[in-house]
Structure 1
Amino acid sequence: MKFFIEVIDEILDYLVKEDNFMVSSHVNPDGDNIGSSLAMYRFLQKIDKNVEYVLDDEYPSSLEFLRDDSKLVSNKSEIKNYTLIALDSGDYNRICVDENILKNANKIICIDHHHTNSEYADLAYVDVNESSTCQMVFNILTRFDERFGEDIICEKIATPLYTGLVTDTGNFQYSNADASSLIMASNLLDRGAKKEEIIENVFQKNSISYYRILGHVLNNMELVDNKIAVGTVYNKDLEDYDIKYDDIDSITPYTRDIDGVELGIFVKEKEPGVVKLSFRSKSYVDCTQLSRVFGGGGHIRAAGATVLDKTVEQVKELVIKEARKFI
C-alpha cells in the first residue's frame, strides 16, 4: 500500500470535494465485484455524498444477502454531473452500465487489481499485487481514517469487504492471499464483519440443483494430455437442472483441482452464440495470456473470456488448441 499512498490521497481528495457519484463494476457479478461496490457505495453515503449503485445484471443468489437495504438501479439514474467509480473492472467495455452512463460521466475513477487493466480511467488506482479490489477499497478507507480521524468502516462496510476478500482468495487458499490479507481479515472482524453469515451464504448454501449440475459436469469432464481438464455446461443443461447461469461459477475450480492437472477450463454456454470461458491454473500457466487470445483478461492464476457467434464445440476445439501451447 505504501507505494500507492499518493494516488489513494488523490482519490480521497476528489471524493471529498465532489458531490455526485455512480458506483458500478463488471458484468457477471462476483464476490469481489459486489463487495467492493457495496463498500464504496456505503462509504460515500456515510460521508454525505449523492450516490447511486448501478449494475445492469443479476446478483448471484449466494450474494443477495449483502444487498440488505441498498438500492440497486439498472441504468435509470437521475443523477447529473456525476463521476463514475468503476470497481474491479479491468476493461472499459466490461463496466456493467449503459453506454450513455459511461459517455456522460464527468470523470471515471478505476479501482482494480487485474493484470489486464486497459488504463481507461481518468484517475486510477491499479495494483496487481493486491488480493482483491476489496483489499484496495479497504486501503482507501483505512487511509481515510488516518487522514480525517474517523472510524469509517462499520459492519455494513466490513461485511461486503470480507466477502470479496474470501471469495477472491478462495477462502485464503490461493497464492494471492498474503500476510496483508490476513491482517485485513482480522481488522474487518474487529469492525463487525459477519463471518458466519458470509461463510454460510457463499460456501454452504448451494441448491440441490447446483450439486446435480456439478455431478453432471464432473461425470463428463474431459482430460487433455493429463494436464488440462475441461468442464462443459450447455444452455440446455441450465434448463434441465433448473439453475441460473450466474450460479455455477463456483464449479470452475473443480477443473483445476484434479491431481496432475495444471490448467482447468470451464466452458459455459449462456445462450446460443455466447460462450463464457473460465481458466484456472496451479503453478505455471499464465491464464491472462490464454484469456487474451479470446479477448478476455483477469489474473495470472484465474482469468476468463467470452466468445461470440460460435458453438460450444467450436469454442472447445479452439481453446484446447491454444491451451496446449501453454503446457
Structure 2
Amino acid sequence: MKSSGAMSARRMASNGVPGGGFTDAAVLACFREHGQFVMCAHEKPDGDVLGSGLALGLALKAMGKDVIYFLDDEVPKNLRFLPDSDLVQRSFEGVKSDAVFVFFDMSDQSRAGEALGWVPPEQIVNIDHHLGNKRFGRWNYVLEAEAATGVLVLNVIAALGQPITPGIATCLLTTLISDTGCFLYSNARPQTLRLAAALVNVGADKDLITEQLYQTRSFSGQKVLGRTLDAAVMTDDGICYSVVSRALLEEFGATHEDLEDVVGALRAVDRCEVAALLKESPDGNYRLSLRSRGRFNVMAAAKKLDGGGHFRAAGATLPGPLPNALSRTLAAVRTEMAAQIAADRAPT
C-alpha cells in the first residue's frame, strides 16, 4: 500500500534551521520504526543525490539506526569532501533482508541502474523533486516545486526532531548549490536563499562546497572543454550543441566526470536558447545533457527520448551511431520549441 496522507506543518530542526513544506506521516513512521536503511543514489551521481543521502544517513545514525550507503559507481572526486562519502560501497555487504532502501532524486526506479532493479517496491522510500515522479515506492515523498531533493531531506530531518550538525548542513547546502547552479538558476527563490543562509549559520562550509563544485577542474577536463567548444555548432533557431567522443576523452586521459557543466558553457552563448551535449559512452550509446535558457521546456524534449529531468535541465541516453542520436536530439528539441512558439503566438 502506498502512503498518501501528509501532515501540513511548519517545522524546524532542533537547532532552528527551518524545515518547511509537507512531510508525509507514513514516511516519518517508516524512519522511526525500521532499523536498517540503505541510501541509494542514481547513476552518474551529482551533489543533490549524494548530499541528500549522506545528510539523511548522518541523521538516522544519530538516531541509532543502521545505515549503509550504496552507489554502483565511484563517488565523483569533487564530492569526496562530503561527510561519510568514504563509507559509500558498491556491494550489498551487510544489507539485511528487511532493510529499507531510500531512493533519492529519481523519478523512477530505473534511474538507479541495474544494480538496484531487484529491490521490491514494498521496501522502497522514494524522496524526490522531479516532475513526473512515478511514485514507485511503498513510501513516497515528492515535492516537485522544490529546488533540490535536499530540501525534502531537511524537512524529514526536522520532522524527526534531529539537529542539523555542521556535517549535515554541509551536505544539505551542497544539494542546493548543485541543483541551483550556485544560485544562478531560476529555482533559487527567496526561500532557497534563506535556507542556504540558515545552513551556513549552523556550520555548512560554503567556501569548500563552491571551490569543489565550481572552481576545481582537472587539466584534462579543461582541454576537453576547449575542444568541445571549438567544435560547437550554433543553429539559426537557437540550439547550441556539441559532441564529446570517446576518442577525445582518451586523447587527454579524461573521463565523463571531467565533463561537469560543459553543457553550461554551451548554454552561455548569447544566441543560445537550448544547449545540447552528446557524450559517447564505452557501450556506444550517447548520454545527452540538455539545458534551457528558460523559454523552452527541455524536460519535455528529453521525455520524447525516454529521458527526463527538469524544465531547464534534463537528459537522456540514446543509442548510436552519432548521426542518428544527433538527429533525434535536434528533432525532439525542435518539436518542443515549435510547440512553445505556437503557444506564445496563440490568442489569449
* Shorter-chain TM-score tier: over 0.9
Which of 15, 18, 24 is the equivalent residue of 2:40? 24
Which of 140, 145, 153 is the equivalent residue of 1:129? 145
- Within-5 A mapping of 1:208-287: 208-287=219-298
Provide the secondary structure at the position in 2 that maps to 1:98: helix
Distance 1:291 1:243 in 2: 26
The offset of 1:87, in angstroms, is 0.5
Counterpart in 2 of 1:94? Answer: 111
The residue type equivalent to 1:142 in the other structure is A
Provide the secondary structure at the position in 2 that maps to 1:140: helix
1:170 aligns with 2:184: no
Aligned residues: 320
Moved more, 239-248 or 27-36: 239-248
Distance 2:52 2:232 in 1: 33
Which of 118, 131, 139 is the equivalent residue of 1:115? 131
The offset of 1:62, in angstroms, is 1.1
In structure 2, relative to structure 1, the CA distance for the partners of 1:186 and 1:298 (3 Å cut) is: same
Provide the secondary structure at the position in 2 that maps to 1:276: strand
Counterpart in 1 of 2:64? Answer: 48
Provide the secondary structure at the position in 2 that maps to 1:271: coil
Q: Deviations over 1:216-251 (max 9, x none)?
A: 111010112240000210011111121111221311
Moved more, 7-16 or 283-292: 7-16
- Normalising to structure 2: TM-score of the pair? 0.87
1:72 aligns with 2:83: no
Counterpart in 2 of 1:320? Answer: 330
- Normalising to structure 1: TM-score of the pair? 0.92
- Identical counterparts, % of pairs: 30
Runs of at least 4 residues of structure 1 off by over 6 A? none
The residue type equivalent to 1:312 in the other structure is L
Counterpart in 1 of 2:345? Answer: none
- Structure 1 unaligned runs (5+)? none
Q: Deviations over 1:140-190 (max 9, x none)?
A: 222333xxxx4x210111111111110100111101111111111011111
Q: Are the aligned partners of 1:88 and 1:114 in contact in 2 as well (CA < 8 Å)?
A: yes
In structure 2, relative to structure 1, the CA distance for the partners of 1:292 and 1:316 (3 Å cut) is: same
Counterpart in 1 of 2:16? Answer: none
- Structure 2 unaligned runs (5+)? 1-6, 10-19, 338-348
Provide the secondary structure at the position in 1 that maps to 2:172: helix
The offset of 1:97, in angstroms, is 6.3
